[in-house]
Amino acid sequence: AMHGRRSLKKLEAACRNHRSRQSIGFFLTKAQWDAPAVLAATALDLLKTLGWKTGSPVDLLFDDTQKKKRGKQMDAVSKIFLHAEKVYAQGHTILGCAIVYRGVVIPYAVQLWAPKSFCAKTRQKSYKGEPIEYRKLTEMVGEIVADFPLSKATVLFDSYYLCPNVVRACEAKGYRYVGVAKKNRNFFPDARDRDKRKLATYGKNLLGRQGRGATCRGKKYRLAERVGRLSKLGRVKLVFCRRAKERSWIAMATNATRWGAVRVLGHYLDRWPIEVLFKESKQYLGLGDYHVLRFRGIERHLCLVLIARLLLTHLGAAQGAQ
C-alpha cells in the first residue's frame, strides 16, 4: 500500500492512525504468531487453487540474496559480499524458497541467516529475545527440504548448495535435484573408481571431443554427459553445457541418472524465476525496507512481504493473467 521510502510512520498513516507505531512494532517483534507457518500454508493453498493434485510434481527453488544495512544495533548484521555491487559491506543474508508449478512462482519460505557471533550473543541474559541456534545456509536448506510436505519435487539450486547436507535431504525424501558443480571438484567416471578427474580439465576436454549440438527452448547449446561418482556426493550424472559461440561452460549435477542431457538442462533453466522473485520483491514490495531491530521482527517482515506477493499472484490467477 505504500510507495517510496517505507517506514512504521507511513504504515501508521496507512492504517488511518487506528494503530500506533508501537502496536505495529509489537505485532512484528513480540506478538505470538507463527509467520513462517502462515507463509507456507498460504503458499500451499495457492498451489491447490492453481489445480495442483496430490502426486503432481513441482519444482522447489532455493537461493539467497543480500541486503546492505547501516544500523549498528540491528540483529544478525555481519560483513557480507554484495554480488551485484562487487563490494563488501555490513548487511543481512536472506534465504528464499519458492515453488514453481505450471510456470507460476509461489514463495514458500524465507529465513534470515544469523552469524555465529550473534547466535552466541542471544544466549546471554542481557539479550532481550529468544535464543537463536546457529545454522549454516546449507543446513537451513536441508531442513526446509526435509519438512516439505509434497511427495514429488525437483529441487533446483546453484553451486553453493550442491553439498552433502542438501543432497542427503533430497535423497531422504526421494526428490530429484539439479545443481551446478564447481570446477574444482573431483569426479570418478563409472567403472573407474581410481581414475580421479578434476572437472575444470575433464569438462573442457569432454565438450571439445564428444560434445554434441542440441536446442533447448529455442537456443543452441553444446552438451556432453557422463555418469560417475562426484566427491562427497556419490553417484550422479554430470551434464557439461556450453552455449553456442561462447567459451564459458558449466557442469550440472543430478541424481536422476536416467535423464537425458537436454532434460537436465531444461530443469536447471527453471531455476531463474527465483532471481526474478527476489528482484520484484525488493523493488516493488519492500523486501529489504525493514527498520525493526530484533531478529524475529525482521523475519516476520520478510514473511509478510512474500505473503503480499502471494496475494498478488492469487489475484492475477483469479483474473486469468499469465
Does residue 8 carry a pLDDT above 80? Answer: no
DSSP states of 127-152 as a string?
--S-------HHHHHHHHHHH---S-
Burial of 273 by CB count in 10 Å (0-12 exposed, 13-18 middle, 19+ buried)? middle
Cell (9 digits) for 11: 504504515
Which residue's C-alpha cell is 510456470? Answer: 103
* Dist CA 224 CA 242 (whole Å): 9
Question: Do 127 and 121 touch, CB atoms closer than 8 A?
Answer: yes
Tell me: the pLDDT tens digits for 208-254? 898 899 999 899 999 999 999 999 899 999 999 999 888 899 999 99
Residues with Cβ < 8 Å from 275, sequence gap 6 or more? 63
DSSP states of 35-58 as a string?
HHHHHHHHHHHHHHHTT--TT--E
| Amino acid sitting at position 97 | C
Specify the pTM.
Answer: 0.89
Tell me: the pLDDT tens digits for 294-320? 899 999 999 999 999 999 998 888 887
